[in-house]
Structure 1
Amino acid sequence: MSNEDTVGFIFTCSLKEIELGEDIIFDKHRSEFSFEQKYIGLIIPQSENYRGITEPLAYFKYTDCIKVFNQDERAYSLNFSGVKVPFHDLFLTHSYKSYIVKIGNGNYFDQLYPSASKAFIAARHQENLLNDYLYKFFNP
């Protein structure tokens, strides 16, 4: 559907990225970090957006998505051995390719930096800082 403010159309085949929002939680009783999934967002990729930036299209609560995943038999991914793995299990075990696109409620890195290479470097830097923090926590 389109209105006067819409410049282009979005086809479902162009929605190939999702955003998984998580909180990192430290359990002091077990002395371990865990990830709590908060939401899943449909993302318009930079290559498909007329503005040339990554933009969210819609957000859904993770608990609502799990209900849909459990009811829909198409909600699975094939692993390397051809076994069907439900999306919920993939998200819980972090068995997917991902990278950090933003920290907190701020802007996406490609919105903060003028060039794609600077945005990529900033995202990798934040990912390295997080990995260093987690490593130093357990290896003082």
Structure 2
Amino acid sequence: MNLDKVISGFFIILAMTLNFGFFYGDLTDLEVHSKYELFAALVVNIIATTLKIGDKTQLGSVLLASSFVADIQLIAAASIWTIASYAYAIDKEISSVIISLSGGALLANITSVLLYIGDTLKSKR
């Protein structure tokens, strides 16, 4: 068993599940979405991205790109939420933007998990 693959897979799957936990719920009601869960999803995504940096394969490049997409979208969602909560009133439009950005990050995370599973199934013992 390769411990590096176990740790990397753990963070890739945890990033996806945390992101799904935040994304799931009413699109226009930000009260059912936890800011702490968004923060946890962002932190775990950044950890998963740093774990993917050392992989020099073609698949590693695609995994890293999908992680960058998820990171950028989660950073944008957290930034919009922070700015809107201090500078503006958070309305349904801002709520839907925050949750939609999280949904885009979720799709990038699902892509990462599917590629990771495919690579695991393809690899030889």
TM-score relative to the length of structure 2: 0.28
User: Which structure has the highest helix share of the two?
Assistant: 2
Higher Cα radius of gyration: 1
Say which structure, 1 or 2, has more relative contact order (CA 8 Å, 6+ apart). Answer: 2
User: Which structure has the highest strand share of the two?
Assistant: 1
